Structure 1
Amino acid sequence: MIVFRVLCFGVHFRINVFMLSPCPHWGAYVDITMVDWGEATMIEAERILLRHALTDPYNERFVFVSDSCIPIYNFSYTYDYIMSTSTSFVDSFADTKEGRYNPKMDPVISVYNWRKGSQWVVLTRKHAGVVVNDTTVFPMFQQHCKRKSLLEFWRDRPFPADPAKEHNCIPDEHYVQTLLAQEGFEGEITRRSLTYSAWDLSASKDRERRGWHPVTYKFSDATPVLIKSIKDIDNINYETENRREWCSSKGKPAPCFLFARKFTRPAALHLLNLSVLGARRGAKSET
């Protein structure tokens, strides 16, 4: 029997409670740890989840989702999509922006292997083991990959005299990608995420929808039109690498995303009531 484990977590008052599948609010508590957004504690939390999940020898895939994620297809389609390939799904691309890579990481982590991407990855058992057993890259992230100081976090540490000179490194956007590149495993991954997020917020007039986090879909946003627009995405363009990733499954064109975020609880329940979350058009429905 081959199974995959869904790993999820939610942040409440800077304390993350980690649970194994099913999620988000059921399952066995496996660890409790203090986590700050934009700090290396985020990737330590991911490593804790993987370490516990690896104790089950039947787990072959490890899927990271958040408590604001929704599945946009039924379980059968999602399972077949993930298990149809021997690769991990890791959104990974060369990061050319100045200020993210800290030269103090060199020579342990060279700029040549520096990558960026989404933390919402799907890992094979082999790659999950690489993350858990890493003793080289993670310490470098703890020391030299830190988010830029923000006024709302001024209590965390003294606010710098010149914030413009700070490196702005968000660990969970770089760690898995950089680790797999550093260890020579990029040829074993599909370099895209299976989780959709809306980041282009420049046209939004809602100040709460602009910033460092993806847009949150509320009840009024949760429509069949929105879900269809996400399901219709069949390619992803990576400008920094001049690369367009055409999405496929079992050697045939396929939708890019199996999950989507961020949805409020009322929005997610509304979509369930509308019965718009299910199998791909033309596919046999799950019974």
Structure 2
Amino acid sequence: MTNLNTMDPLDDFARRRISLLDQERLVYIAGSGPAVVVMTEMPGISPHVARFARWVRDAGFTVYMPHLFGKDGAPPGALYAVTTIAKACISREFRAFAANASSPITQWLRALAAQAHQESGGKGVGAIGMCFTGNFALSMMLEPSVLAPVLAQPSLPLGQSGGMHIAPDELAAIKARMVTEDLTVRAYRFEGDSFCKAERFAAYADALGDRFEARVLADSAANPKAMMKNPHSVVTIHLIDEAGQPTVQARDEILEFFRMRLN
């Protein structure tokens, strides 16, 4: 069993520098089959995030996991997390406090999805954002190849529990596409999560109707041994990797969502 509290070398991922829209980023790639873009939570591509990416890979997909912030492979720690969050909060790429606006980084991520689809084939591309990047998977639906978006505990905009981190015109265009193509977005959170509260899911449900498929897990389903006591990260640090656990069921449901839409 992998030790999730030590540095993950990520040596089973190919490292590629991909230049899109005049911006180059490091992307970790593994697997075969239709593409799924895995966007890391704070503070970066931790061993927990990499473990989830491997589950996606082993389910029959090509994982594209871009470096967005933090130290790749490093386990989360309190000081490291605070420092990384502080840098991201002032970054123009993320606009972390902005409601009714989309992070500029989503334009690059959409371009990545388009390239991943061209390289990997299949019906289209899946995308999952977690925590700080949670909302990005929805914005990526402006790229026609993105068919299976998953929002895991979407936490932006910071400080606005009912805010939506997406521009209104983009949200309207995405809803129209969902109706036309009969698509849905999956979203996950813990009931008592203080970063992703019920008000945020209610706002998305109000905007998207039954196209927004929410899954809310009881706080008791979160791993009590996790460093973060606030129940938050559904498929990473708060996942209990045991058969029958609600978090494992959520993970398997996400993988099945990707299969259903992409295969």
So what's the TM-score if we normalise by structure 1?
A: 0.35
Q: State which structure, 1 or 2, has the greater radius of gyration over its C-alpha atoms.
A: 1
TM-score (normalizing by structure 2): 0.37
Counting helix residues as a fraction of each chain, which structure ranks higher?
2
